[in-house]
Each structure stands twice: as C-alpha cells, then as structure tokens.
Amino acid sequence: MQQGRGVERRTVLKAAGASLAVTGLGATATACGGGSGSGDGTVTIRYAWWGAEDRARRINKTIDLFEKKYPKIRVKTDFQPYTDFWKKFNTQASGGNPPDVFQNAIGFLRKYDAKNVLLDLKEQVKAGNLRMEGFRAGLDTFGEIDGKLLGVPVGSNSMALVIDKPVYARAGVTPETGWTWDDFDEAMARVRDRTGRAGDSGMYGVMYLYDLYLRQNGKAFFTEDGLGFTEADLTRWWTKAEKGVRSGLFADPKKVAQIKPKSALSAELAGSEFTWDNFTVRYTSEGRSEYGLAPIPTTDGKRTGQYLGSLMLSASRRTQHPVEVAKFIDFMVHDPEVAKIMGYDRGVPATTAQYEAYRPTDAVNKAIAAYEESLVQAGVLEPITPHPNGADICEAAFLRIGEELGLGKRSVPDAVEQFFNESKTALSS
Amino acid sequence: MTAQATDITRTPSAKGALRRRLPGSLAWHLGALTLLAVILYPVVWVVGGSFKASEDIVGSLDLFPADPIVSNYTSLADGIADIPVSTFFFNSLFLAVGSVIGILISCSLTAYAFARIRFAGRNLLFTLMIGTLLLPYHVLLIPQYVLFRNLDMINTYTPLLLGKYLATEAFFVFLMVQFMRNLPRELDEAARLDGCGHLRIYWSIVLPLCRPALITSAIFTFINAWNDFMGPLIYLNEPGKYTVSLGLKMFVDQEGLANYGGMIAMSLVALLPVLAFFLAFQRYLIDGMATSGLKG
C-alpha cells in the first residue's frame, strides 16, 4: 500500500509539474518584454499605432531605417485597428503602462492631457532633439495645447466629398468650388432621379462635416470646454437629414448598417460620401468604381470652413527615454526616405522635406495631392478649432445617434436631447 | 422513392401505415432540409467568399464567385505584416492547449475538495467562488492589468494562463463539483477501506468517472481560449506574440487598403483547429451524457 501511495503521489506531481512547465515556458519565451534598457546602452522604445497590415509593412521598413541610423535605439511596434487600438490604449494608460510613443489625433489631445498621459515635447525641442521647423501650412502648431506641445503631425488630410465618378457623370452633376448647400441638395436629387442610387451615404452623423457647416456660419462644433452650437441648430440639421432619408436622397440606413465594415459608397448604395480625402485609398481597394474628390458645399459661396486634420505622434509622460522618443519622432516626420516608404498612407506628409520627397504616381494618391493643393490655392483653409476633453466621445455619440435617427429609432427632438445629454456628461468629466 | 424498395420487406399492414406516414415524413424532411440550407448558407457564403476578389466580397449575396481565385489563400503564405501566419496559429494553439491542461488539473482538484472533503468554511468558500461568476470581466480588467504590470508579466502569456492554473474559472469548478456529488460515495468508501488517501481516490476513482465533465470543460476551454480577443489584445504588446483572433483583425482598418479576401481566407483556416478539436472529442461528450443518464 505504501508503494501504491508513492506512485499515486508521483503521478499527481508529474501532472502538476507539467502544468507548471507550460506556464513557465510561456513566461521565459516572452520574458524579454518588460525591460527597456540593457547593459550596452541600447534603449528599447515601444511604438503603437492603428492601421492594418499594409501600413504595418511600411512602418516596419521605416523602423529598419531608423535603427540603422540610431543603432543604440530599438523600436518595438504594436498595432490594431482604430477602435481596438483605443481600447487597448485606454487600459494601458489607466494601468500606467502606455507605449513610449504612439499615433494620435487631434480629438484625443486634451483628453489624455487631462489624464496626464501625454509628454510635453517642448523641452525636447529646446534641447534640439526634435525640430519643429519646415512644416507645411501651419501644421507645426496643431499639436500645441495651452502652450504645451503634445503631438507632432505626421501627415494632413482634409474633409472632402468623395464621389463615385461614373455615377456623377451619368447624373450630369459636376461639383465646382464654391457650390452651395442648395446646389448640393439639387445634385442629390439628380443623382437619385437619374441613376436610381441615393445621393449621399448619410452625412448627418459625420461630426467633422457638421463642424464645417457650423464654421461656415461663424460657429464651431466645439469651444474650449463645450459645444459651440445650440439645440435649435442641431434640430435644423437633423430635420433636414430625416427628410433626406425618407425621400431617398440619402442611402437607406438599414442597408448601410448591413454592409459594414464596407462603406456605402463602395458598396454602390450611394453616389457620394463626406469623409477624409485619404479614405479614397480604401474605397478604391474595396469598390469597383472610380472615386474622385469634390469640394465641400458652402453657405456663402466662399467659405468651406475646412482645415487640415492630421495624424500625430505623441509621447507618453511615463516614458523612461524622452530623448530617444523625440529623436524617433523627429526622424519619422523629417526624413525624406521615410516619406518615400510611407507615401500618403497617413495623409499628405506634414513637412516640406517629406512632401517634396514623395510624388505619388498612382491616380488615387495623385488626386489626393491635387485636392489638397487646390485647397491651399483657393485659400479656404482656416485654423483648427479646439477639441475639448471628451471630444472623442461626442464624436462617437453624434455618429451613433445620427444613425439611430436615420433608422427611425429616434425622432428629431429625441435625438437632439439624447446627444446634448450624452455630450454634457462626456465634456464635464 | 424508397417506399417501393421497402414494400418487399414490409407486411401489408406496415405498408399501409407507411403510406399513411409518408406525406408527414416527406414534409418533415423537406422542412428540415430547408432549415439546414438556411443555417448553412452563411458558412457556404464564407467558403465561396474566400475565393472571391476583395472588392466582390462584402455586400454581395452570391454564394460562389464568378471567376474563382485562390490568391486569398496563397497570399497568406506571405504572412501578415511581415509575420508568418503560422506564428499566430502556434501562439493560439499554445494558449489553448495550455489553458485546457490548466483547467483540467486545477478545477478538478478544487472540485474534489469541495465535493468530497469536509473542512471549515467550505460552504462560505463555495458561495464566494460562485459569487465570482457574477463579476463582469470589465470590472476586473484594469485592476488585473495593474497587478500583472507590477509583477512585470505584461507582454508574456502568463496573465492569460496563470488564472487557469489557479482554478479561477468558477464555472468549470462548479460543473465538476456537481458532477462529483452525483458519484456514489460507496466507491470512495471502498477505496478508503483498501487504504487509499484523498490523492489516490481523486486520481484513481473520481477523475476517471468524471471523464464526461472533464471533456466538456476541455472543449469549452479550448474554444474560449482560441476565440479570446480582449485578453491577448490587452496583455500582448508585440505582433509576433499575437494570437489568431488578433491576427484576423490586421487585414482591415478604416484607413488604408482593405484586404477582406485575406481576412475571410484566414478566418476559415482559423476555424479548422476548433472544428478538429470538437470533432475529436464530441463522441466522448455524447458518450458521457449517455452514461450519466443511466446513472441518474
């Protein structure tokens, strides 16, 4: 019996040992993740961004270049699609472990500044590790908030009306610079009547477009700490939208929801869509038609209210290696070779050096460049208005409630009230 | 159809019964087949979609491509974002198998203690354990993250596996406790008379009899670990350590090129291990239900 007990204990222990070995293996195989400095002075920084595999391949190449130039700095990348990126970033930031440097956008600057996540890069600029000269069209001040430099633009984009060219041609509509909202409404009706396709995919939920409309009328979506428009303004905007959906000027929101993540434009549900000009890259890869960029309709025939939007690189305040991070950002925004690799993937390059270094050869990117140049020539670009802490939540709420309105789940007054309630909570936190 | 063939073997009265049953049976089978077609439609659509060009996939209801291509599959051989696809599969398999081993050992040991050993505070502890089932995952997310960060375990597989080895999956403990409580105590007592201690009873008596519960837990753990998205998303910081569920998300983002074809091809390939695991073990599952049914 004694013997029996021994055997039994051994078997159990063996099983337990095997299980420990499995966990142990997991730990050792990956133990290199935590430390960021090593004996020979090599420093490792973490770089996170959102995007898909195509961007990943490009970024990996630029990092090879960077590591060749700075052999003492290693860069580890991490990436997810947009929404997952922010989920992960939020958890990491709350857990005190954000990446050293990461892709960022204007709507998040104040939010993460309020949470003490972002590093003020001004000191690194003073120390000469990061050059803020040579930016196009005033982009150098885009990441500045309350005198702090919280983000450095890597590329710029503008809102545009992306159109399905053959559909617009069949409808006989040619949008011209300075066309008005009345012209736009007429165009929508013509597209619907002559091609049997809805004119637009659902502009009423696009926060950035409503922002432009408000700016054309001397207002803006956001002020320093709140909303820059009244409930009456929004009621007018959404009443018009509801009519548009009912009369088929805008694509059936049910169908638009069904074909997600594909866009309504490339799925041939609508003839055009208001969005950022670089989205044409994706639309061309998912749709069969040819897509072009048309100007934003105006209120007075002149002002479009447009400004350059931009992707930025930000550093985290907790980084152990601010100098290396600054050098990394500097390299990524100024080096001409980087521009040749990245192309217009993150927008038209922010610095003149990079802008000159890459000239697109394909039709889609050429059109983006031409569009951005036409904006500069027309002189319609204005300075950007602030995005307060909570702006990202307001943007998401605007889109969601706009969709619910389109689907008929909410009436206009109900939708307006809901949006103001949600944004008040978001902006006061 | 088959009615004629069966005529020969059937007696006249059975023949009459068959004739009376035939319309009902036909309707029944037709209904079942229609339902099957509806249920299988999405699966067939995905299979067909994996042979379509990217721009033809989303929004098209056609089951099969007009001109099939295999480039969605062959492009997987180039890897995703400079990482070989096999890496994701290996990582997922490692996590899934590691989780299954952990759950089987830790949960059955814990369940044995709750089911067979009398100790002070047993009921309270059991209630507390069941209570953890009520905690939403999102409440634990950040505290757990901070804990593992302080232990310097971020970007390792430890946070994803450790809990499985410490019987923190209350559901499986509960499942096994319930199963063990139904096993006749006489078996334990007979073993005890033969001189067995708890370990021996656990290993030689209770565990073999618990096979159905163990296999159920194994199947669910494998599928959960294979499909887990949030855990790997939060804890792993290098694409080279990513699992299949994270890899699948690398094909499409709102900006840049969209590769739906690659995504669909890979999701089909990603289904295979789960399917294989299920097929390999499901007959034990049915086996187990049958035997436990007899016992009841």
Residue type, A224: E
Name the token pair of B181: 């409580």
8 Å CB contact of A52 and B256 = yes
User: Which 3 state secondary structure label does DSSP give A176?
Assistant: coil
Return the exposure string of A259-270: e unless at least 16 CB atoms fall within 10 Å of the residue's CB, then b: beebbbbbbbbb
Q: Can you tell me the distance from the alpha carbon of A107 to that of A207, in angstroms, rounded to the nearest whole number?
A: 11
Chain B residues whose beta carbon lies within 8 Å of the beta carbon of residue A16: 105
Among the partner-chain residues A48, A57, A88, the one whose CB lies closest to the CB of B234 is A88
Chain B residues whose beta carbon lies within 8 Å of the beta carbon of residue A268: 59
Is there a contact between B89 and B273 (Cβ–Cβ < 8 Å)?
A: yes
Contact residues for A141 (Cβ-Cβ < 8 A; gap 6+): none
Class of domain B81-295: mainly alpha
Confidence at residue B254, expressed as pLDDT on a 0 to 100 scale = 76
Q: Can you tell me the distance from the alpha carbon of B209 to that of B211, in angstroms, rounded to the nearest whole number?
A: 5
Give how far B218 is from chain A: nearest CA, Å: 15
8 Å CB contact of A55 and B255 = yes
The DSSP element (H or E) to which A190 belongs, if any, is helix A181-195
Instruction: Spell out the domain ranges in chain B.
Output: 2-74, 81-295
Confidence at residue A17, expressed as pLDDT on a 0 to 100 scale = 47
Confidence at residue B165, expressed as pLDDT on a 0 to 100 scale = 95
Residue in chain A closest to B100 (alpha carbons) equals A19
DSSP-assigned letter for residue B83: B
Confidence at residue A281, expressed as pLDDT on a 0 to 100 scale = 86
Q: Can you tell me the distance from the alpha carbon of B196 to that of A352, in angstroms, rounded to the nearest whole number?
A: 81
ipTM value greater than 0.90: no
Contact residues for B154 (Cβ-Cβ < 8 A; gap 6+): A33, A34, A97, B145, B148, B235, B237
Among the partner-chain residues A8, A288, A345, the one whose CB lies closest to the CB of B256 is A345
Chain B residues whose beta carbon lies within 8 Å of the beta carbon of residue A12: 199, 202-203
Is there a contact between A237 and A213 (Cβ–Cβ < 8 Å)?
A: yes
Instruction: Give the closest residue to A228 by CA, choosing from A414, A391, A382.
Output: A391
Chain B residues whose beta carbon lies within 8 Å of the beta carbon of residue A288: 55-56
Is there a contact between A155 and A349 (Cβ–Cβ < 8 Å)?
A: yes
Is there a contact between A338 and A51 (Cβ–Cβ < 8 Å)?
A: no
Chain A residues whose beta carbon lies within 8 Å of the beta carbon of residue B238: 33, 76-78
Is there a contact between A234 and A384 (Cβ–Cβ < 8 Å)?
A: no
Please tell me chain A's helix, strand, coil percentages from 3-state DSSP, rounded to the nearest 5. 50, 15, 30
Q: Please check the confidence at residue B293 and state whether its pLDDT lies above 50.
A: no
Q: Can you tell me the distance from the alpha carbon of B158 to that of B144, in angstroms, rounded to the nearest whole number?
A: 12
Pairs of CB atoms within 8 A across A/B: 189
Q: Can you tell me the distance from the alpha carbon of B259 to that of A216, in angstroms, rounded to the nearest whole number?
A: 37
Is there a contact between A63 and A327 (Cβ–Cβ < 8 Å)?
A: no
Give how far A230 is from chain B: nearest CA, Å: 31
Mutation choice for B interface testing from A5, A23, A84 by most B CBs within 10 A: A23
Q: What is the mean pLDDT of residues B117-135?
A: 92
Chain B residues whose beta carbon lies within 8 Å of the beta carbon of residue A79: 81, 239, 250
| Strand pairing class (A270-276; A291-294) | unpaired
Name the token pair of B292: 């436990």
pLDDT digits (tens, 9 = 90+) for B178-219: 999 989 999 999 999 999 999 999 999 999 999 889 998 999
Q: A169: left (phi > 0), else alpha (psi -120 to 50), else beta?
A: alpha
Residue in chain B closest to A264 (alpha carbons) equals B59
Give how far A91 is from chain B: nearest CA, Å: 6
Contact residues for B161 (Cβ-Cβ < 8 A; gap 6+): A22, A23, A26, B95, B98, B99, B102
pLDDT digits (tens, 9 = 90+) for B29-79: 999 999 999 999 988 888 998 998 877 787 677 788 888 888 888 888 888
Give how far A270 is from chain B: nearest CA, Å: 13
Return the exposure string of A346-363: e unless at least 16 CB atoms fall within 10 Å of the residue's CB, then b: bbbbbbebbbeebeeeee
Q: Please check the confidence at residue B257 and state whether its pLDDT lies above 80.
A: no
8 Å CB contact of B58 and A22 = no
Number of H helices, E strands in chain A: 17, 12
Mutation choice for A interface testing from B105, B146, B254 by most A CBs within 10 A: B254
User: Please, which residues bridge with residue A77 across strands?
Assistant: A47
Name the token pair of B102: 């952990």
The hierarchical CATH code for the domain A43-154+311-358 is 3.40.190.10
pLDDT digits (tens, 9 = 90+) for B219-252: 999 999 999 999 999 999 999 999 999 999 888 8
The hierarchical CATH code for the domain A159-306+384-428 is 3.40.190.10
Per-residue pLDDT of chain A (429 residues; tens, 9 = 90+): 344 444 444 444 444 444 444 444 444 333 333 445 556 789 999 999 999 888 999 999 999 999 999 999 999 999 999 999 999 999 999 988 999 999 999 889 988 998 999 999 999 999 999 999 999 878 888 888 889 999 999 998 899 999 999 999 999 999 998 999 999 999 999 999 999 999 999 889 999 999 999 999 999 999 888 899 999 999 999 999 999 999 999 999 999 988 888 889 988 999 999 999 988 888 888 888 999 999 999 999 989 999 888 899 999 999 999 999 999 999 999 999 999 999 888 889 999 999 999 999 988 899 999 998 898 888 888 888 778 988 989 999 999 999 999 999 999 999 999 999 999 999 987
Whether the pTM exceeds 0.90: the reply is no
Place of tokens 């618990």: B210
Name the token pair of B262: 């690659």
Instruction: Give the closest residue to B245 by CA, choosing from B261, B225, B227, B259.
Output: B227
Q: Please check the confidence at residue B81 and state whether its pLDDT lies above 60.
A: yes
| Strand pairing class (A159-164; A152-157) | unpaired
Is there a contact between B49 and B63 (Cβ–Cβ < 8 Å)?
A: no
Q: Can you tell me the distance from the alpha carbon of A291 to that of A164, in angstroms, rounded to the nearest whole number?
A: 5
Among the partner-chain residues B54, B161, B195, the one whose CB lies closest to the CB of A23 is B161
Alpha helix (H) ranges present in B50-136?
Answer: 54-57, 71-76, 85-116, 122-131
Q: Can you tell me the distance from the alpha carbon of B155 to that of A110, in angstroms, rounded to the nearest whole number?
A: 28
Identical fold, A43-154+311-358 and A159-306+384-428: yes
8 Å CB contact of B161 and A26 = yes
Chain B residues whose beta carbon lies within 8 Å of the beta carbon of residue A50: 253
Contact residues for B270 (Cβ-Cβ < 8 A; gap 6+): B89, B92, B244, B245, B248
Instruction: Give the closest residue to A76 by CA, choosing from A312, A349, A328, A317.
Output: A328
Angle at B53 between CA B51 and CA B54, to 5 degrees: 115
Mutation choice for B interface testing from A286, A341, A346 by most B CBs within 10 A: A286
Mutation choice for A interface testing from B104, B253, B263, B267 by most A CBs within 10 A: B253
Q: Can you tell me the distance from the alpha carbon of A16 to that of B104, in angstroms, rounded to the nearest whole number?
A: 11
Residue in chain A closest to B157 (alpha carbons) equals A26
Name the token pair of B88: 């994701």
Model confidence at B289, pLDDT cuts 50, 70, 90, reads low
Q: Can you tell me the distance from the alpha carbon of B118 to that of B121, in angstroms, rounded to the nearest whole number?
A: 9
